[in-house]
Structure 1
């Protein structure tokens, strides 16, 4: 079997592609790359295991090397996101920031759903932080309720 050489992109289904592109750029500073695709093709539907798939997608560069692919399925109509962080298969995207306190204030001022105030990972009180001790984290949700994490290394 061929080895994986690097991560290429992370695909995130969204309910409204234009809204999500604006939100990720305005709130997180992740600008669209200008690369967009659309597909209404039985072979593509078979690859993604979605019968009669019709989709549009746009890519955005998150940092120096991770592409974020935001995908809107026009057919079939998707169900809203209802997953919890503990549910099998539910993933979250984590973005590193250089000042989590400033990011937190900005998110709150913009009315973004922030799950709770930032937390510093420290050993004790039911936490074994290990190598991540001193890291500050914050969870938030995008317009579709998808969990995102902001992460600041404090060491």
Structure 2
């Protein structure tokens, strides 16, 4: 029987690797850890089911235990991101923060697209928050329009 021992990393294709590495570091404080890879071969193409790929990737440590892999495919030319949160297969990355109000000010100062003001999860008005009652959430987009979430647990 297969048993997963832990989550190793989350891979996110981006259109401009250098820009995204800078953005994730400058805006979210997720700094690259010096691990960079590149690949251009048929075996990789078979694994990722992309014909004749060429890619570069940088790993960053998000928090204490999750690696974020930002990947730029130079070949084939990727399509821009168009997914909505409700579309099957579209995922989002959620980053926990200590102070949502400070985070919002920081993001607005940098001109980051926020989908809406933060929401506090509370039961009522169509929300059944359960154990997450009092949690603050905020959705935003990275430079490629990829959905991200900030999450502040109740104190």
User: 1: distance between equivalents of 2:2 and 2:135?
Assistant: 35
Runs of 4+, deviation exceeding 2 Å = none
Residue in 1 aligned with 2:3? 3
Tell me the secondary structure at the aligned position of residue 72 of structure 1: strand
User: What residue ranges of structure 2 are gaps of 5+ in the alignment?
Assistant: none
User: 2: distance between equivalents of 1:15 and 1:121?
Assistant: 33
User: What residue ranges of structure 1 are gaps of 5+ in the alignment?
Assistant: none
Residue in 2 aligned with 1:113? 113
Q: Give 1:19-98 correspondences, 5 Å limit.
A: 19-98=19-98
User: 1: distance between equivalents of 2:53 and 2:37?
Assistant: 13
Tell me the secondary structure at the aligned position of residue 19 of structure 2: helix
The alignment covers a number of residue pairs equal to 155
Residue in 2 aligned with 1:133? 133
Please provide the CA RMSD for this pair.
0.6
Q: TM-score, normalised on structure 2?
A: 0.99
User: 1: distance between equivalents of 2:24 and 2:110?
Assistant: 13
Deviations 1:22-73 (A, max 9, x none): 0000000000000000000100110000000100000000000000000000
User: 1: distance between equivalents of 2:141 and 2:71?
Assistant: 17
User: 1: distance between equivalents of 2:9 and 2:71?
Assistant: 12
Shift of 1:109: 1.2
